[in-house]
Amino acid sequence: MTDAPRGPRPVDPLIALRPWEAPELTSWGRLPMNAVDRRSGALSLDGDWRFQLLPAPDAPVGGSWSSAQVPGAWTVQGTDDLPQYTNVRMPFPDFPPGSPDANPTGVYERAVDVPGEWAGRRIVLQVGAAESVLLVHVDGRPVGVSKDSHLAAEFDLSEVVRPGERSVLRLTVVKWSDASHIEDQDQWWHGGVTRSVLLYATDPLHLADVTVRAAHDGELRIDCRVRDARGALPDGWYVSGELEGRVLTQDSEFDRVNIEDDRVSDFLGEARIHTVVPDARTWNAETPELYDLTVRLHRQDGTVADSSHHRVGFRDVEIAGRDLLVNGERVFVRGVNRHDFHPLTGRTLSREDMRADLVLLKQFGFNAIRTSHYPNDPTLYDLADELGFYVVDEADIESHDHAHEIADDPRYLNAFVDRVSRMVLRDKNHPSIIIWSLGNESDYGANHDAAAGWLRRHDPTRPVQYEGAAKLDWAATDDASDIACPMYAPLEDCVAHALSGRQTRPLIQCEYSHAMGNSNGTLADHWAAIESTPGLQGGFIWEFWDHGILQRVNDGQPAGRAGAGLYDNGVAAPGHRWAYGGDFGETIHDGAFIADGVVFPDRTPKPSLYEHREIAAPVRIECYKHEGVVLGNHQHFRGLDWLTGTWELSLADGRTLTAPAELPGLRPGETAAVPLPFEVPRDGGEAWLTLRVTVAEDQPWAPAGTELCVPQVRLRGPEARQDTVVDRPVEVDDEGLLVHPLLASAPALSLWRAPTDNDELGGMALRWRTWGLDSLVRKVVSVRRDGGRVSVDAEYAGTVGVVRHRQVFTPVEGGVRVDEEAELPAEFDDVARVGSVFGTAPGLDLLDWFGQGPWESYPDRAFGAPVGHHSAPVDELFTPYLRPQESGGRHGVRHFTLSAPDATGLAVVLDEPRQVSVTRHRAEDLTAVTHHDELVPRSGCVVHIDAAHRGLGTASCGPDTFPEYRVPAGVHRWSWTLRVL
C-alpha cells in the first residue's frame, strides 16, 4: 500500500472517452484473447487494495481511502452499494445503450514492485474479471479499457513500468454501462474486480496463442502463433512439444511428426506440430483420461523463449442426424446450469470451492454443465477436464429486458462477436467443452448470426447452440444453432417432435425442471421418456445454486468473508439469514426467484438431488423374475469393476437382511441375471430388495465407500391389514373431535398446504385462496354412537363450495381406527391435498417409519427414495427452503411411530401407502413468514396423513405437474389406526 502519486494528473482521456456509453467500443488497449497458460510464475496482485466508491465515473477521487479485497465484489464488502437481484428487468430505466447518472464506480489502487529480473521482458497485466467496465492506469497514465464482466482482460505494461521500481496501478470499475444491457442475466448484480489479478512477464519473442486439437483416433495437432514485442520476428525460431515426457520432433517414436514454420508476415509467425499418438487413451466424462503437454518456443540457438502447459484429452464431438456423439457414442446429457456463486463473496470462488461444486455434482449423477450465462472462472474448466464433465460454454450475452431491439442493433454487433470469439479463444483447448453457446435469452438477430459465423469458421470441431435461434423451429437446419435446445418445453411436445419424422437435430433442453423451493416434480417421468425416445438426449436442470447471500439481520448487511462458518446443513446461524431479492432494500427486484437451485447456498443438497442420483444410476435392477434379478449397466463407456455393492432386504415387520453383492462384469448397455442373495422369508409381509451401490476404490471425485445409487425392486406385496375390534368406547367430544392423551389437537380435514414457490408462481395458490381452502369453516352435522363406534359427519365450507367429511372412530385392539371420507364439490378440482392433520403432545421427538425415505419425497418426486425402515429426529425432517413453504413430506409411508426418549409414544398404521409429513409447523405458520429466522417451532408435532397429495411440478418456471399427480374433485377415502406404544 502506498499513497497516490504526487503532482497534478493530466486530463484523463479514458474518462473523456466515456466508454460506458459507447456500445461500439468493446476495448481499447486490450490485448487479444489467447489460450496460452500464464499462471505459472505470475506475480499475484490479490489481496487488500486501497479503495474508494464514487457516485459516478466522472466524479473526482477524494482524499479518503478505505480498503477492499481483490478479488471480490464491493457489494458484499460493507459499502453502501448493496447486491440487487433482478431476473428480466434491468435495475435502471435507461434504454440501451444508456446507463444511469447515479453509477457506482470503484477505484482500486495498489503499489506494485516490478521484479528487477524482468528487465528487457514483455510485462503484462491480467485482470481476471471486472463488472462491468474496466479502466486501467499506471502512475496516472491511461493504459486501456475493457468490457465483458466474465472474461479476463490483458494489457501490455512494458512501456509504462520499469523493472526494479515501484509503480501505482489503478483499476477503475464502472458498474453500469451499455454493456450492462447484454449482461442482464438472472442473478445478483454486483460491482468490482471479481477474479484474480496477475502480473506476468514473457520474452519479447513469445507464444501469442496455442490451439490444441486431439482426436479420438490419436491424431494430435498443435497450432502456434508467435509474435515478437520488438517488431519483426527473428530468424530461426521454432516450436517443439513434449507429451508425457516424449519430445515431439522428427526423430520421435511416433509414426508421423511434421513441424512447419509458415510465417505469414514479419510480425506474426505460425507453426504446427502434427502427430498421431498410437493407442491413445480417450477422454470422456466417465473416464476423463488426460495427457500433459508442454509447448515450447525456441530461439535459433535452441534456447527456450516461451512455453505453455496444457492438459490434452483425445476425444471427438459430432452430430450425426439427430444424435450428439462423443467418441462415436450417443451419450445422455445429465446436466445442470451453474453460476459462479458464493454466499459470502458473491462471484469470487476459490479452486476448492469449484472443486467441491463438481465433486458434489459428480456424486449425484450429473455429467454435464452449462456455464449459465457467461464463461465461468478458468479453473472450472480445468476441473471439468480432470473430473469428467461435458460442458456447454456460454458467452456473456443476455439482453433479456431489451432482447428484440438489441439482437439486430448494429451498435452491439462488435460486442456480440467480441464476447463469443474471446470465449472460444480462451477455452478452446479444454476437452470438457463439447458445445459452444452464443448466450441466453437475447431473442435472435443478425448479431447472433455474425457471432455464429465467426465461431463455425474458427472451430468446426464442436457444435454451436443457441436457444433463441432454435426455438423458432426445432426442425430448422439454417439457423445459428446445431441443437434444438428449448427451455421448459412440455414433455409431450418433446416426445411428439421426436416421433414426428421432422426432427433434424438433437433435442437437449438447455433449461428444464426449475428447482425453485420444493420442486423438481416429474423429473423421473422426463427421464423415462428421454431414455425410451430416440431423438431426446437430456437437458440441463435449472439450476445448481440457491443464490442466498448470508445477511446479518441486525443491520441488513451481507456477512461477507467474516460469515464463514455461520451456516450448516442449509440453515443460517442465529442472527443471520439467507437474503434474496428485496432483502437489501431494493425497490426493483424479483424476490425469491433467485433461490432456484438443487443445493442450498452452503452447497447442502436438497432432496431433489437424491431423485436425480437415482435417475442417473450407473447400475440398475431391470426386473425381478425366476427367483433372481436382472442387472443392467447404464453407463456409456465404463464397466462395473469400479463399483461394489450390498444387498438389503427390507420386510414390513421390521426386519432388514443384508449380504455382500458381487456385480457382474457388464460392458456398457449389457444386462445379466443374478440370483437372489438370500432366501426370502415366507413371513414378514411386504418385501423390498435394494442394491446399495458404492465406489469400490477411491475416485478423484469420490472416496471408496461413497454411495452412488440404491436401485430397488419389490419382491412381495403387502398383506391385508387386520384390526381386531374391541368393545370399549372411543372418547369423542360434543364437536365430534377425537380426544386422546397424546394428541394436542384432534384429526381434522386438510385441503391446504403452505404454497410452494411453484404453487405461488404457477397460480394454484391464488386459486386455492380464492376457494377459501386456507380458511375452511367446520360445522358439525351429526355425531352418532353405535356401541363403542362413533360416526361424525361435518361440513367444511370454503368461499365457493362445501366439502362433506365423515370420520368413523372404531375401537380396536391397542387403539382406535379412523376411517375417513371426504367428498369434494366440482368447484374444488385440483386441490393441494386431501387428508387429516393433527397435533401431538410435546416430547415425541423421534420418527420411525416404513416407507420411502430417508429424505423428503412427494408423489411426483419419489423415484429416489427407496422403501425401507427409516428413522430421524423430528427436527431434521423439515426442509429449510429459503422461503418457508410445504416441505418435509414422505411418500409411500405404510406405518410410523413417534416416540419419546423412554420409547413411549404413538404408532400409526395406514390402510395403504400414503403421503405423510411430521414437522414442527402448521401451514399457517409457514405462510405467515418470509424467512426461516422468523419461524417459531411448535413444541409438539404437526402430523399430516394424506389420502391424496398434489405433485410438485415446476410451474414457477416451466410445466406444472402431470394430471395423474393432481388431486381431483369427488370422493376420497382413507383409513388409519392410532395406537399407544
Active site residues: 441, 511
Q: Which of 522, 320, 591, 382 is nearest to 958 (CA)?
A: 522
Distance separating alpha carbons of residues 689 and 623, to the nearest angstrom = 11
> In sequence order, what DSSP letters do the residues of 746-767 get, joined into one string?
EEEEE---PPPHHHHHHTHHHH
Residues 6+ away with beta carbon under 8 Å from 571: 880, 932
Asked whether 387 and 288 are in contact (CB, 8 A), the reply is yes
Distance separating alpha carbons of residues 437 and 439, to the nearest angstrom = 5
Q: Which of 293, 281, 284 is nearest to 388 (CA)?
A: 284
Joined together, the cell numbers standing for residue 613 give 442420483
Instruction: For residue 342, count other CB atoms closer than 10 A to its CB.
Output: 24
The single-letter code of the amino acid at 758 is: N
Instruction: For residue 633, count other CB atoms closer than 10 A to its CB.
Output: 22
Three-state SS for 921? coil
What's 199-224 look like in SS3?
A: EEEECCEEEEEEEEEECCCCEEEEEE
Phi-psi region of 441 (alpha: psi -120 to 50; beta: other; left: phi over 0): left
Q: Partners of 323 in the beta sheet?
A: 320
Distance separating alpha carbons of residues 544 and 521, to the nearest angstrom = 16
Distance separating alpha carbons of residues 495 and 536, to the nearest angstrom = 8
The Cα-based distances of 842 to 539, 639, 845 in angstroms read 46, 52, 8
Residue 836 CA to its chain's centroid (Å): 36
The single-letter code of the amino acid at 419 is: R
- C-alpha neighbours within 13 Å on the C-beta side of residue 444: 14
Q: Which of 386, 387, 480, 493 is nearest to 435 (CA)?
A: 480
The single-letter code of the amino acid at 960 is: D
Joined together, the cell numbers standing for residue 539 give 437437458
Asked whether 746 and 838 are in contact (CB, 8 A), the reply is yes
The single-letter code of the amino acid at 733 is: D
The Cα-based distances of 132 to 409, 723, 856 in angstroms read 20, 70, 41
Joined together, the cell numbers standing for residue 383 give 476441473
Residue 669 CA to its chain's centroid (Å): 28
Residue 956: φ, ψ to 5°: -65, -30
Distance separating alpha carbons of residues 795 and 828, to the nearest angstrom = 14
Q: Which of 918, 763, 794, 939 is nearest to 853 (CA)?
A: 918
Question: DSSP secondary-structure letter at 6?
Answer: P
Distance separating alpha carbons of residues 239 and 275, to the nearest angstrom = 14
Task: Work out the end-to-end distance of the chain between its first and last CA atoms, rounded to an integer number of angstroms.
Answer: 70
The single-letter code of the amino acid at 374 is: Y
Distance separating alpha carbons of residues 417 and 439, to the nearest angstrom = 11
Instruction: For residue 40, count other CB atoms closer than 10 A to its CB.
Output: 9
